[in-house]
Amino acid sequence: MKKNSHPIFHHPVVPLVPGRMTAAEYLDACRELSFQARSLGIAFDIWQKALRDDTTIFLGLSGAMTPAGLRKVVAYLLENRLVDVLVTTGANVFHDIHETVGKKHFQIHPNTDDKLLRKHYLDRIYDVLGEETEYGKHDALIARTAASLPKRPYSTREWFHEFGKVLDSMKEEDGIVTAALKAGVPIYAPALGDSSYGIAMASRKESQEFLLHPVKDVRETALIAAEAPRTGIVFIGGGTPKNFTQQTEVTAEYMGFKMQGHKYCIQITTDSPQWGGLSGCTFEESTSWGKIHFEAEKIAVYSDATIALPLLVCGLAEIQAHRFRPSIPRFTFGEELKITRERTRKPVPAR
């Protein structure tokens, strides 16, 4: 095999040179490295391509990103329309209430005595804690809001739009829910009952008749995918947000639309595929289900999301990636969701 002629020798690893550089410069340099650094650099590149290509981008958010300190990172993505739809666990948007009204989560050692914490109603999430007495106040707010709404079944998107208005009226600073409200980004939490929202609604008498309609979530997100020129997905972790978002392409196809699968795909995860769980499922495997485009640009970054996501978002912020978009979806909120597409100003040329 001749080194000068065979394609396998055409792209050498370029060693990283320490020195002052921006996050965007670092991510570009990662493309020339190996292992998960290269995957992170590829993710940065794919996200930019999705923004330039008339793509409706879904963000799937699992884990405990809000108490871990990534709440404003997610809010930035919503405010600047670097994503268009948020599919999340209920936990992330419950803890968002806590900080939106001015409360804090606190660092703690993960080996702290949990029996002692329980005696003082302090809830631990690995090395972070929150005060359960304060969480109880948020439960009461959720229940009052649910009880105040007209009696009919609601999608979770409708719920967060209405709840966002209440939260916005009492906020100390914007967070995920209020940022989504102002940016016109729909929030879906398909397993909302598996969170303090479900606990609050079920355990308090005034809100026990409030009804969520999960099929409305399925139908709406499928229509968002169907009406998009193409779709992209960014997953933080896996779980319900991942599968729920991936299945939009399949659901839309069953509804009669011609679909080809998600075109731009990024996942940041610490799960691996050999255990058969959805969180570790590769995009290659998802292709067999019709969820991923045959020619998709896709990458899995095997990393702690609290490390990888802020780097990616800082890089996108530095290059003002929101200006790359030729168009964005606009949503009119009501009992039914209406979708249009708005052309933006002339997009910034590729770097």
CA neighbor of 47 nearest in space, from 265, 251, 203, 245: 265
In single-letter form, the type of residue at position 80 comes to: N
CA neighbor of 45 nearest in space, from 329, 249, 301, 327: 301
Query: Is residue 158 within 8 Å of residue 335, measured between CB atoms?
Result: yes
Q: Is 291 a catalytic residue?
A: yes
Query: Can you tell me the distance from the alpha carbon of 39 to that of 304, in angstroms, rounded to the nearest whole number?
Result: 13
CA 330: distance to chain centroid? 18
Query: Can you tell me the distance from the alpha carbon of 217 to that of 88, in angstroms, rounded to the nearest whole number?
Result: 12
Q: Which two tokens stand for residue 221?
A: 């997100």
263's enclosing H/E stretch is: strand 262-269
Query: Can you tell me the distance from the alpha carbon of 58 to that of 83, in angstroms, rounded to the nearest whole number?
Result: 6
DSSP line for 25-49: HHHHHHTTS-HHHHHHHHHHHHHHH
Query: Is residue 297 within 8 Å of residue 266, measured between CB atoms?
Result: no
Catalytic one of 72, 242, 263, 291: 291
Catalytic residue positions, numbered = 291
